[in-house]
Amino acid sequence: MPKKMTRTRNLLLMATLLGSALFARASDKNMTIGAIYLDTQGYYAGVRQGVQDAAKDSSVQVQLIETNAQGDISKESTFVDTLVARNVDAIILSAVSENGSSRTVRRASEAGIPVICYNTCINQKGVDKYVSAYLIGDPLEFGKKLGNAAADYFIANKIDQPKIAVINCEAFEVCVQRRKGFEEVLKARVPGAQIVANQEGTVLDKAISVGEKLIISTPDLNAIMGESGGATLGAVKAVRNQNQAGKIAVFGSDMTTEIAQELENNQVLKAVVDISGKKMGNAVFTQTLKVINKQADGEKVIQVPIDLYTKTEDGKQWLATHVDGLP
C-alpha cells in the first residue's frame, strides 16, 4: 500500500478514536441541574419526587441543586443567580410570575443555561425567546374537563340556574385559562349558570377565609370552583365550617391526600381535575436531558396528561396508589 494512503488511513483512524473518546467523555460527564419548586403545596412535593426518582433512575450522573421559591419572586431570582454562578447545565422551574420572572429567566438564558419550565412560565414572548421547553397540561382542556363534571352534576340534580363562586390563582395565566375552559363548557351545557364571584385564594388559609365570606355574602350559592389545590381544599373546609355540606358542591383542581379523602367522602367535593406531580417531574427531567444533549424534537410546548376524578371510588383508588401522599 502506498505510504500516502497508509498515512491518510492512520489519520482517519486517529480522528475516529479521538471523536469516540470525546463522545464517551461527554456522555460520562457529571451534570448539574438546578430545580426550583414554586411553593410548598402537595403538587410541588410530587414534582420534586418525580424529578428525584427520574434522576436516580437515569444512566447519567446528575447532581440536583434544589430549592422552594415559596411563591417569592426575590427568592426565585436570588437562587437563579446562584445557579448561573455555578454554571449549571440546566434550570428547571415553575415561574413565580408570568411577567415578574421574565428578567430572571432571561439572565439564565443569556448566560447560556437552558431553562425548562413546567406548570407555570413567563409570558409567551419570553417563552419564545428565552425558554428551551415548557411542559404543561393544557389549562383550557383542564378547565373544560371540570366544567363538564360540574354540568353533569347540575343536570343530574335539576339545577338549571346554578350560582357558582370561583376561588382563584389567577396571578398565573394557567389559572385564568382553567376558569375560561370551565365557563365555556359549563355555560354551553347549562346556559343559566352564573359565575357570581371570583376572588383570589391560592393558599389554604386564605382560601378558607375567602370561601366563608363568599358563602355568607352570596345567598343560594350552589357551588364553588377551586382553581388550585389550596383553593379547592379551602373551599371544602369553608363549606363545612358554614354547615353547608350537602347544599354547596365544590369542583376542584390538583389532587392531594386530603383532597382525595374529601372526594372519597363525596359529600362536598364532587370532582377534581389533576396533573400528576410525579409524572410531571419525571417528564420534566427527561425533557431536560434531551435539551442538554441537544436531542429535543423541536416542540417547545409539551403537553402532559390530565386526569379527571369524579367518584368515591376514584378517591379511594388514588389513596391506595399514593400511600406516600405525594400526587
Please check the confidence at residue 16 and state whether its pLDDT lies above 80.
Answer: no
Structure confidence at residue 297 as a pLDDT band (50, 70, 90): confident
Give me the pLDDT at residue 41, please: 73
Please check the confidence at residue 20 and state whether its pLDDT lies above 60.
Answer: no
Residue whose C-alpha cell reads 395565566 in the numeric block: 173
From 181, 186, 192, 190, select the one nearest 148 (Cα to Cα): 186
The DSSP code for 3 is H
From 210, 207, 211, 134, select the one nearest 174 (Cα to Cα): 134
Residue 60, classed as helix, strand or coil, is coil
Sign of CA dihedral 296, 297, 299, 305: negative
Give me the pLDDT at residue 23, please: 36
Question: 151 near 222, Cβ under 8 Å?
Answer: no
How many C-beta atoms lie closer than 10 Å to residue 229's C-beta? Answer: 28
Q: Give the C-alpha separation, 295 to 304, whole Å.
A: 19
Q: What is the DSSP string of 240-260?
A: HHTT-TTTSEEEEES--HHHH
Q: What is the DSSP string of 82-126?
A: HHHHHT-SEEEE--S-TTTTHHHHHHHHHTT--EEEESB-S-HHH
End-to-end CA distance of the chain: 68
The structural domains of the chain, ordered by start, are 12-18+21-137+277-296 (3.40.50.2300), 139-274+309-321 (3.40.50.2300)
Give me the pLDDT at residue 15, please: 40
Give me the pLDDT at residue 29, please: 67
Give me the pLDDT at residue 19, please: 41
Residue whose C-alpha cell reads 381535575 in the numeric block: 273
Buried b (16+ CB within 10 A) or exposed e, 135-145: bbbbbbbbbbb
Q: Can you tell me the mean pLDDT for 200-219?
A: 96
pLDDT digits (tens, 9 = 90+) for 181-209: 999 999 999 999 999 999 999 989 999 99
pLDDT digits (tens, 9 = 90+) for 236-271: 999 999 999 999 999 999 999 999 999 999 999 999
Determine what percent of the chain is predicted with pLDDT higher than 90. Answer: 83
Q: At what angle do helices 229-241 and 204-217 cross, to 10 degrees?
A: 50
pLDDT digits (tens, 9 = 90+) for 275-290: 999 999 999 999 999 9
Please check the confidence at residue 9 and state whether its pLDDT lies above 60.
Answer: no
Please check the confidence at residue 10 and state whether its pLDDT lies above 70.
Answer: no
Q: Give the C-alpha separation, 314 to 261, whole Å.
A: 10
Give me the pLDDT at residue 241, please: 98
Residue 95 to residues 158, 168, 248, 280, 313, Cα–Cα distance (Å): 41, 17, 33, 15, 34
Question: 265 near 272, Cβ under 8 Å?
Answer: no
